Structure 1
Amino acid sequence: MKNSRLFSGDRYATRGIADRIEPAIQMALWRAIEVRKARGDELDYLQVFELSVEMVDGEPLQKVLNRQEQPEHRESFYVDGVQEPIGGVTIWVIDSGTYCTMLFPDEY
């Protein structure tokens, strides 16, 4: 599969994601992939997002680390508009070649 075609198919989230991850976070993860594509980054078919909470000026902020293995990449960002930031959660976004799925690793 050509890299430029990665993450171009229909997008789905598992029931676990829909039940446990608020829409603002889900949208931010999809947007992070789009930003990387627009920059021309080489994307792996598996994008890993690690969620954590960081306190800034006494306020909890949603922090996200996006990483991939091939080629190696690590990048952190914050998500605005999150009602209840969550930590200690890993989310995968996988491109199957036909569609893209957001899921928890234990749902694979």
Structure 2
Amino acid sequence: MGNKATFSGDRYATRGIADRIEPAIQMALWRAIEVRKARGDELDYLQVFELSVEMVDGEPLQKVLNRQEQPEHRESFYVDGVQEPIGGVTIWVIDSETYCTMLFPDEY
């Protein structure tokens, strides 16, 4: 498998993701990949998303750092509509060339 990924196959989330990560966050991570594809970014087959909580005007916001190794890329964004922001969580999205899977690193 080369480093260049398309993230165009069927999309799956592990049971761990489905149980612990609310749909608004899951959709935002998939959308972030789509935005980067539309921009023409070269995507590594492994996209890493680090979730944290940032307080803004006394309100907790869901912050996400998206990073990859090849080519190196780091980009942060906020997710609207999250009922309970979570922090200290890392999520991987892997493109196997046949399908794409969202999972926790310890589920690999």
TM-score, normalised by the number of residues in structure 1:
0.96
Residue 104 (structure 1) aligned with residue 104 (structure 2): yes
What do you get for the CA RMSD once the two structures are aligned?
1.4
Gaps of at least 5 residues in structure 1 are none
Alpha-carbon shift at residue 5 of structure 1 (Å): 5.8
Aligned 8 A contact 2:92 2:102 in 1: yes
Alpha-carbon shift at residue 95 of structure 1 (Å): 0.3
Partner residue, 1:39:
39
Gaps of at least 5 residues in structure 2 are none
CA distance, structure 2, for counterparts of residue 5 and residue 49 of structure 1: 16
For 1:31-86, what per-residue CA distance to the aligned partner results, in whole angstroms no more than 9, with x for missing partners? 00000000000000000000000000000000000000000000000000000000
Alpha-carbon shift at residue 6 of structure 1 (Å): 1.3
Alpha-carbon shift at residue 3 of structure 1 (Å): 7.2
Alpha-carbon shift at residue 2 of structure 1 (Å): 7.4
Change (3 A) 1:8 1:2: farther
TM-score, normalised by the number of residues in structure 2:
0.96
CA distance, structure 1, for counterparts of residue 15 and residue 6 of structure 2: 23
Alpha-carbon shift at residue 4 of structure 1 (Å): 7.2
